[in-house]
């Protein structure tokens, strides 16, 4: 029975546990419960990944209704890979949360925080696992609503405007996706992704499908904060509680990126999106602009959380650039970067949260002298920062290596050069913070006895991520294997779907 | 003599990298007891040198040492392989590390520097990455440790922690990181996408099937990407790095870091392009002239500097381009000269830096104009300075003679009279900016009066400093009379030989 329902568990566990957490009410108790649930979900995701690496695809009919009529949960290497990253990050962030939210969220709202976190996790897992386009929208809304709540929980009142802005943009995005899915349903009469894939090809040049594609792409682009639809992200990341930012930065945009891959490769098909609609050129240009514009924006911010938020938008540019190259290596670079960027940004935001916990501010000026006062936190920040820059022996280097290889494969020498030059801007924005921490004296007004190393429950998950940054930078067999087989699989199925539809149309 | 016979030969490579690394950890562990910490540094340096000697021994006996560590990218691993050029560099760096450690102890204590534990720790880490660069078996490994070297030396450059140090550090890190990421990494990835391999192979990995235009572009990317070679206009980091304490300037910015740069260029030229392939590229000549221009322009800049360390820094920029030019001449004997220059310039320049530091500790003088008559106070230091200067200029009986000799023959052999002229003019410029310093120190006095000199007048630097600079100045002499072991080593490099085949070019001229 366990084996049979394994696929549904990563969604159901947190979904059922969420209201229980709320009922528990007590801060410490709900923390332990939520963390245990998330860890369990992570364990199941690990099982799923190992299962898909041998069996390639697992399918589960929700409620016993077989697809395409019922809702199908479908696991392949691509989403099992992302699911593992998401649930692992969720667990680490929850461990980290206990101390962090004590400082940033009123104690009466702690249980609410854990509830929203679990709901968000359930939503994200749902998005990843579902094989149904409308169901995807439902899970997207579950995770988004939970996210708006999480952002607005901070005690700083500016978080309310940030959450509201996020809510408006997020709802527009979700509505666009819903309209797009509606159009697809109108034309094809099905919502199952595989079924859609076969039927869409028949109506290749249909105006309804074209419009549907446009709505979905714009909607998803808002969700993943692709330039120029990223404006909600810096505000939300800056004012949300640190633990929430660490969670969102390392998971939410990654899942949205996965949704984009799913729509392009599984539903619409490569040939249609890239060759007929010319989406690759649009994405490539936007990605390049995102890399440069947002990296530049990151260099002029004074709030470290905003710096990292802009850096995230720029990093999303790298992932999109990977897709826009329309090659197995390019997609693989994008997928690897999902995982790697989650490791880097998770660690960075955790370090920043630890600084807020002790110093009470995340302005660059507040980092002065912290290299001596909080050595472990700042060492973590520095290593993760080097990873963002793409220094060898870190995961950032691996991502960059594959992305540039993918560009060179197609003789895009200028593109390759741009990617590398773009990473130099990361040297500037990470360098500013690191220099303040190590080479500037703490302000005289600060009581040096008060500022000490962060509690170990914050350091532990932070350092797990930092060590993962190094480990997966040296031994990449797990990440490259998963990403390359996911990428090959996506390309294969995309062309198989096209071949199938050719048969149907005959 | 081989002290390490019990160890499996290929594990000597990992030992050579791990010993300084473990040394760095022990230095941190014993940081509270300066005497033990310094003992750890000295013991580590000595043990490392014995390991490198053992590796040298195996190299002379033709034993191939290889080691694969990890495979971050499928089909492309972190791997090490011992070859003669790397052994030469490792010998120079590890030997001079012992001397510099002795010197650094005297200097850091004499100067009452802060954060000495961090200093010695980063120093050992830098040496560890230099060893990894020496023995790297492919471009990826070379690149990785090239970056580690940059990062581990950054805290040394900014050691003083004041505004000047921070500014210097920013220039240092900015230029070295950006050139390596923007140019070198691109060149490496380009090479990989063209050939599917990054291994160093005798005769190069490119062949005639690759477009000459692309290879020409790659050559330029490599030359500028290896920013540590300080080819103009990317040389600014080296003068900026002079804000570091003098032992750092001495070992790292006259020997280890800058030589890692020119060593990488030699490796790329010999083992990636191959000397024959290099001759046919359009950009080889262009880079050659840029190298020649760097030699002359930086010598001229050196003349205008009154700060002794700044003058030495520009002199280093100029001397590094000797090696770059030697590599790009694409002749077997010029490459031999370039390889030899790694060693001879190292002993000469480190002597000069040791002297500059000694003067700073003993008399707190930084500017050359204040050093008139200093020979009365510091006769040993100034004598050593004279020896080092003559070696840099390339006059007998000092080590620099040989490398300049082979470089000149190489230029003649390649029929590049322009380069021959450059080398000669550069020697004259060296005389003009280096020799006046010891001459004025000995033969002029500050006040103009002349009374007989007595030993009582001397105010020399602490003993460890004197020992160090005496050893390196004796080294300058010794390498003139006994350069054979190094030359034998260089002759083992495939395609490189010190035996000139002059007849061809002479016939051509006749």
Interface contact flag, B189 A401, Cβ < 8 Å: yes
Inside any domain, residue A440: yes
Q: Which two tokens stand for residue A34?
A: 């939520």
**CB A417 to CB B73 under 8 A?**
no
A348 belongs to a structural domain? yes
Q: A439: closest CA among B166, B490, B178, B423?
A: B166
Q: pLDDT-based confidence at B505, cuts 50/70/90?
A: very low
Tell me the DSSP string of B373-421.
TGGGT-HHHHHHHHHHHHHHHT-TTSTHHHHHHHHHHHHHHTT-HHHHH
Q: pLDDT tens digits for B250-302?
A: 877 778 889 999 999 999 998 998 888 888 888 888 999 999 999 999 999 99
Euclidean distance between CA atoms A365 and B206, whole angstroms: 51
Interface test with B, best of A382, A383, A385, A392 (most B CBs within 10 A): A392
**For residue A471, what is the nearest residue in chain B, using CA coordinates?**
B72
Instruction: Write the ipTM.
Output: 0.80
In DSSP notation, B258-270 reads HHHHHHHHHHIII
Q: Is there a domain that residue A411 lies in?
A: yes
> Does residue A171 lie within any of the structural domains?
no
pLDDT, tens digit, for every residue of B210-223? 888 888 989 999 99
The reported pLDDT for the residue numbered A351 is: 92
Answer yes or no: is A61 within a domain.
no
> What is the residue range of A388's domain?
280-474
With a cut of 80, say whether residue B509 has pLDDT above it: no
Q: Does A69 touch chain B (CB under 8 A)?
A: no
Residue in chain A nearest B158 by alpha carbon: A439
What number of C-beta contacts closer than 8 Å exist between A and B? 72
DSSP lists the bridge partners of residue A132 as A192
Q: Is the omega angle on the peptide bond into residue B233 within 30 degrees of 0, that is, cis? A: yes
pLDDT of amino acid A29: 87
Instruction: Verify whether the Cβ–Cβ distance A391 to B151 is below 8 Å.
Output: yes
Note the pLDDT of residue A499: 57
pLDDT at B508: 42
Measured CA to CA, the distance from residue B464 to residue B41 in angstroms comes to 14
Half-sphere exposure of A352 (CA within 13 A, CB side): 34
Separation in Å, CA A263 to CA A132, A177, A268, B93: 11, 11, 6, 57
What pLDDT score does B116 carry? 82
Per residue of chain A (506 residues), give pLDDT as tens.
Answer: 566 778 888 888 999 988 888 888 788 888 889 999 999 999 998 888 888 877 778 888 887 777 777 788 888 887 888 898 899 999 999 999 888 888 888 888 888 889 999 999 999 999 998 888 888 999 999 999 999 999 888 877 888 888 898 999 999 999 999 999 999 888 888 888 888 887 877 766 688 888 888 899 999 999 888 888 888 888 888 888 888 999 998 888 889 988 998 888 888 887 777 777 788 888 899 999 999 999 999 999 889 999 999 999 999 999 999 988 888 888 889 988 988 999 999 999 999 998 888 888 888 888 888 887 888 888 899 999 999 988 888 898 889 889 998 888 888 888 888 888 888 888 889 888 888 888 777 776 666 666 778 788 888 999 999 999 889 888 888 888 888 888 888 888 776 555 555 554 44
Residues of chain B with Cβ-Cβ distance to A397 below 8 Å are 72
Sign of the CA dihedral with A134 first, then A138, A141, and A147 last:
negative
Instruction: Determine the residue of chain B that is closest to A412 in CA distance.
Output: B190
| Distance from C-alpha of B191 to C-alpha of B139, rounded to nearest angstrom | 10
- Rounded to an integer, what distance in angstroms lies between the CA atom of residue B12 and that of residue B100? 23
| A475 chain-B contacts, CB cut-off 8 A | 70, 72
**What phi-psi label fits residue A105: left (phi over 0), alpha (psi between -120 and 50 degrees) or beta?**
beta
Tell me which chain A residues have a C-beta less than 8 angstroms from the C-beta of B158: 439
pTM of the model: 0.86
Per-residue b/e over A277-301, b at no fewer than 16 CB within 10 Å? bebbeebbebbbebbbbbbebbbeb
Pinpoint the alpha helices (H) of B112-184.
116-134, 139-157, 163-179
Q: Looking at the partner chain, which of A392, A404, A438 has a beta carbon nearest the beta carbon of B189?
A: A404
Q: Which residues pair with A59 in a beta bridge?
A: A74
Alpha carbons B146 and A220: distance in angstroms, whole number: 41
Residue B455 DSSP label: G
What whole-number distance in Å separates Cα of residue B490 and Cα of residue A308?
50
Helix axes A242-261, A133-152, angle to 10 degrees: 160
Residues of chain A contacting residue B181, judged by C-beta atoms under 8 Å apart: 389-390, 420, 423-424, 427
Q: pLDDT-based confidence at B450, cuts 50/70/90?
A: low
Is a pLDDT exceeding 90 seen at residue B394? no
Q: Tell me, what's the pLDDT at B510? A: 35
For B181, phi then psi, to 5°, come to -75, -45
Alpha-carbon distance A378 to nearest alpha carbon in chain B (angstroms): 15
Neighbour count for residue A489 (Cβ, 10 Å): 18
Our CA angle for A477, A479, A483, nearest 5°, is 115
- Residue B507 is predicted with a pLDDT of 44
Q: Which of B166, B18, B16 is nearest to B93 (CA)?
A: B16
d(CA B446, CA B432): 21
Specify the number of domains making up chain A.
1
Answer yes or no: is pLDDT of B246 > 80.
Answer: yes
- Retrieve residue A333's tokens: 């670079």
As a whole number of angstroms, the distance between CA A494 and CA A30 comes to 43
Tokens coding B88: 């030469």
**Contact yes or no for A413 and B161 at CB 8 A:** no
Chain A residues whose CB is inside 8 A of the B170 CB are 431, 435
Cα A175 from chain centroid (whole Å): 20
Please choose, from the candidates A336, A364, A148, the residue with its C-alpha nearest in 3D space to the C-alpha of residue A240. Answer: A148
C-beta atoms surrounding A453 within 10 Å: 15
Q: Which of B147, B158, B182 minimises the CB distance to A420?
A: B182
B interface toward A at CB cutoff 8 Å?
70-74, 78, 140, 143-144, 147-148, 151, 155, 158, 161, 166, 169-170, 173-174, 177-178, 181-182, 185-186, 189-190, 192-193
Q: Is residue A399 part of a domain?
A: yes
Whether the CB-CB separation of A443 and A363 falls below 8 Å is answered with no
Best residue of A332, A333, A397 to probe chain B, by most B CBs closer than 10 Å: A397
Q: Using an 8 Å Cβ cutoff, are B309 and B366 in contact?
A: yes
CB B59 within 8 A of CB B86: no
Mean pLDDT of the B185-195 span: 89
- Per residue in B132-167, pLDDT (tens digit) is 999 998 899 999 999 999 988 888 888 877 888 888
Three-state DSSP class for residue B306: coil
Percent of chain B with pLDDT over 90: 25
Q: Which residues of B touch A400 (CB under 8 A)?
A: 185
Answer yes or no: are the C-beta atoms of B271 and B202 closer than 8 Å.
yes
Q: For residue A158, with 0-12 CB atoms within 10 Å meaning exposed, 13-18 middle and 19 or more buried, which class applies?
A: exposed
State the pLDDT confidence band at B170, using cuts at 50, 70 and 90: confident
| pLDDT at B185 exceeding the cut of 80 | yes
């Amino acid at each position: 029975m366990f084996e049979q329902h394994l696929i549904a568990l990563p969604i159901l566990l947190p979904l059922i546990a969420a209201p229980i957490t709320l009922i528990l009410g007590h801060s410490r108790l709900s923390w332990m419960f939520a963390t245990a649930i998330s860890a369990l979900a992570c364990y199941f995701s690990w099982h799923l990944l190992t299962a898909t690496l041998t069996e390639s695809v697992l399918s589960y009919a929700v409620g016993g209704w077989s697809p395409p009529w019922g809702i199908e949960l479908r696991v392949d290497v691509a989403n099992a890979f992302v699911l593992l990253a998401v649930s692992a990050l969720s667990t680490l962030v929850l461990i980290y949360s206990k101390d962090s939210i004590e400082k940033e969220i009123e104690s009466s709202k702690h249980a609410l925080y854990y509830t929203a976190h679990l709901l968000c996790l359930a939503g994200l897992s749902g998005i990843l696992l579902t094989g149904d386009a409308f169901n995807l929208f439902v899970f997207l809304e579950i995770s988004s609503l939970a996210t708006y709540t999480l952002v607005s929980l901070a005690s700083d009142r500016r978080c309310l405007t940030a959450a509201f802005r996020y809510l408006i943009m997020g709802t527009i995005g979700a509505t666009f996706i819903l309209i797009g899915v509606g159009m697809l349903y109108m034309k094809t009469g099905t919502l199952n992704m595989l079924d859609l894939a076969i039927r869409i090809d028949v109506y290749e040049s249909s105006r309804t499908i074209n419009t549907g594609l446009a709505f979905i792409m714009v909607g998803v682009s808002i969700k993943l904060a692709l330039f120029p639809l990223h404006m909600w992200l810096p505000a939300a990341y800056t004012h949300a509680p640190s633990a929430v930012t660490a969670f969102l930065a390392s998971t939410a945009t990654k899942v949205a990126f996965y949704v984009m891959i799913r729509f392009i490769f599984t539903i619409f098909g490569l040939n249609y999106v890239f060759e007929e609609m010319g989406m690759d050129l649009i994405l490539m240009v936007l990605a390049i602009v995102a890399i440069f514009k947002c990296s530049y924006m990151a260099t002029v911010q004074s709030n470290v959380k905003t710096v990292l938020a802009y850096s995230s938008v720029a990093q999303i540019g790298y992932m999109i650039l990977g897709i826009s190259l329309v090659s197995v290596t390019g997609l693989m670079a994008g997928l690897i970067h999902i995982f790697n960027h989650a490791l880097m940004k998770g660690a960075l935001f955790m370090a920043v949260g630890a600084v807020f916990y002790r110093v009470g501010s995340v302005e660059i000026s507040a980092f002065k002298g912290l290299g001596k006062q909080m050595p472990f936190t700042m060492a973590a920040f520095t290593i993760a920062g080097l990873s963002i820059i793409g220094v060898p022996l870190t995961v950032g280097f691996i991502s960059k290596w594959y992305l540039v290889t993918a560009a060179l494969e197609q003789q895009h020498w200028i593109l390759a050069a741009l990617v590398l030059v773009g990473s130099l801007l990361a040297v500037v924005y990470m360098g500013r913070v690191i220099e303040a921490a190590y080479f500037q004296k703490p302000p005289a007004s600060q009581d040096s006895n008060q500022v000490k190393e962060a509690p170990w429950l914050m350091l532990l998950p932070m350092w797990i991520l930092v060590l993962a940054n190094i480990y997966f930078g040296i031994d990449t067999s797990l990440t490259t294997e998963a990403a390359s087989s996911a990428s090959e699989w996506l390309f294969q199925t995309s062309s198989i779907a096209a071949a199938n539809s050719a048969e149907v149309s005959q | 003599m081989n002290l390490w016979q019990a160890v499996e030969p290929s594990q000597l490579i990992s030992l050579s990298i791990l010993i300084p690394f473990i040394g760095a950890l022990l230095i941190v562990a014993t940081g509270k007891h300066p005497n033990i910490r310094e003992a750890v540094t000295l013991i580590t340096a000595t043990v490392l040198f014995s390991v490198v000697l053992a590796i040298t021994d195996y190299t002379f006996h033709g034993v191939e040492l290889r080691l694969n560590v990890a495979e971050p990218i499928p089909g492309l691993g972190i791997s090490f392989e011992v070859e003669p050029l790397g052994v030469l560099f490792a010998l120079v760096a590890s030997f001079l590390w012992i001397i510099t450690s002795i010197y650094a102890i005297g200097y850091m204590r004499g100067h009452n520097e802060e954060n000495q534990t961090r200093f010695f720790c980063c120093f050992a880490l830098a040496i560890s990455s230099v060893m990894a660069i020496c023995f790297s078996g492919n471009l990826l490994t070379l690149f990785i440790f090239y970056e580690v070297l940059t990062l581990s030396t950054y805290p040394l450059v900014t050691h003083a922690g004041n505004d000047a140090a921070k500014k210097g550090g920013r220039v240092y890190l900015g230029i070295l990181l950006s050139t390596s990421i923007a140019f070198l990494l691109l060149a490496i990835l380009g090479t990989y996408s063209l050939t599917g391999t990054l291994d160093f192979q005798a005769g190069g990995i490119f062949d005639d099937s690759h477009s000459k235009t692309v290879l020409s572009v790659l050559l330029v990317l490599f030359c500028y990407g290896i920013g540590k070679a300080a080819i103009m206009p990317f040389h600014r980091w080296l003068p900026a790095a002079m804000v570091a304490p003098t032992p750092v300037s001495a070992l790292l910015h006259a020997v280890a870091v800058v030589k890692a740069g020119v060593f990488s260029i030699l490796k790329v030229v010999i083992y990636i392009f191959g000397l024959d392939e290099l001759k046919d590229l359009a950009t080889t000549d262009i880079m050659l002239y840029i190298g020649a221009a760097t030699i002359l322009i930086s010598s001229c800049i050196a003349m205008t500097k009154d700060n002794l360390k700044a003058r030495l820094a520009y002199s280093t920029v100029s001397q590094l381009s000797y090696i770059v030019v030697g590599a790009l001449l694409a002749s077997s004997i010029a490459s031999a000269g370039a390889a030899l220059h790694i060693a001879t310039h190292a002993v000469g320049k480190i002597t000069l830096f040791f002297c500059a530091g000694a003067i700073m500790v003993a008399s707190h003088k930084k500017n050359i104009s204040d050093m008139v008559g200093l020979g009365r106070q510091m006769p040993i230091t100034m004598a050593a300075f004279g020896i080092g200067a003559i070696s840099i200029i390339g006059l007998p009986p000092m080590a620099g003679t040989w490398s300049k000799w082979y470089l000149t023959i190489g230029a003649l052999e390649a029929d590049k009279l322009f380069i021959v002229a450059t080398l000669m003019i550069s020697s004259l410029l060296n005389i003009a900016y280096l020799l006046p310093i010891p001459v004025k120190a000995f033969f002029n006095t500050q006040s103009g009066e002349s009374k007989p000199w007595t030993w009582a007048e001397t105010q020399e630097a602490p003993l460890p400093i004197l020992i160090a600079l005496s050893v390196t100045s004796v080294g300058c002499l010794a390498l003139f009379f006994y350069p054979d072991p190094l030359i034998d080593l260089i002759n083992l490099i495939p395609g490189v030989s010190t035996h000139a085949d002059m007849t061809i070019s002479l016939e051509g001229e006749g």
